Amino acid sequence: MKFPGISWQALIALLLCIAAVISLPLLNEGAAHPFTDGTVTLIIAVVAGSALMSIVPLPPASSAMALLIGTHAAAWMLLSGIGGNEGMATKSFFFLIAACWLLAWRCVAVLSALKPISKLGSSFLRLLIPAIFGAWILILWEAATRGFGIPFVLLPPPSAIGARIAGSLPILFDDVRQTIFKAVLIGYVIGCAAGFAVAILADRVAFLRRGLLPIGNMVSALPIIGVAPIMVMWFGFDWPSKAAVVIIMTFFPMLVNTVAGLAASGNMERDLMRTYASNYWQTLLKLRLPAAMPFIFNALKINSTLALIGAIVAEFFGTPIVGMGFRISTEIGRMNVDMVWAEIAVAALAGSLFYGVVALAERAVTFWHPSIRGG
């Protein structure tokens, strides 16, 4: 059995704990809710104990579990104490946050080296490791904004954004329904379907293929801020104008990728289909489209992000009093930055889910491809 061994992260974390003890207290004098002596002792003991447990020869799974629990418990206690004491943190507070971050780094390194014996364990690790990474982005963000006393109007902490999301669920749901369920999804489906259909036609007719692809490259370079107001003038202020922007943004990536994918099948495979007396459509359905699927799904994944960006930006140029882009432009004018970040967070979550659904569909359809089999 292999053991994690002594890590430089744990050694530096121990040194930071010693520096924190020397530099106590954790908050400046005059803090509204200072840390109690018992809390400070517990935090330092948890951080130092986690570092020591990562040094002693424990099995990797046990070491990772100790690091996971210890570092996040200490970070939670530190962030709980800084709330309401913005700008009052001392060097000791940041020493301990840095020590926790280093031990979380060590935890991820140990988890990455584990060899799960089951498929469920492997799937769990693939989710846990990026979850720890993402959690520490939020932890460091929270510690920096509250510890340094950064004004909320410049950069609100994640806890304030989460509180705004929890308190604005009806507004956020209406915005999501207007922007994503109407403009994004409808424009995405129409734009991708139209690009795919025209790609099949261009593959069949050489004249279209030679004429459309250069135009596609040109249209792809058009700025959204130039197209969006024109679409608003043509189709009105409601969601159809935003869907039109999404159609323009998704049409040509699908066209270009599908045409490239249809040309991806090899000459040997095409000659084999000819020996079977296959016509164009049989060759297309049984050989060329399956070979083009990685290209098509690449376009679908690219378009999943382009569609959301296009719809939100288009709402800046005219929309009913609902929508994610409308909310962002309105609330930033009112200096409600936490609401703006709440909309950004919801948009990021929706875009990630959208991308994830397309990626799962890709794995199911192109299971035969070497990139999927290798994963």
Give the residue extent of every domain in the chain. Answer: 8-150, 166-374
pLDDT in tens, 24-65: 898 888 788 888 889 999 999 999 998 888 887 778 888 889
Please give the structure tokens belonging to residue 281. 């459509």
Contacts (Cβ under 8 Å, ≥6 apart) of 93: 20, 26, 27, 78, 82, 143, 147
The pLDDT of residue 333 is 84
The pLDDT of residue 4 is 47
pLDDT under 70 in the chain at which residues?
1-6, 266-269, 271, 276-277, 369-375
The pLDDT of residue 2 is 44
CATH class, range 166-374? mainly alpha
Q: What is the dihedral of CA 263, 264, 265, 267, to 10 degrees?
A: 70
The pLDDT of residue 268 is 67
Residue type, 210: R
Place of tokens 């469920």: 120
pTM for this entry:
0.81
Most distant CA atoms of the chain, gap in Å: 87
The pLDDT of residue 266 is 64
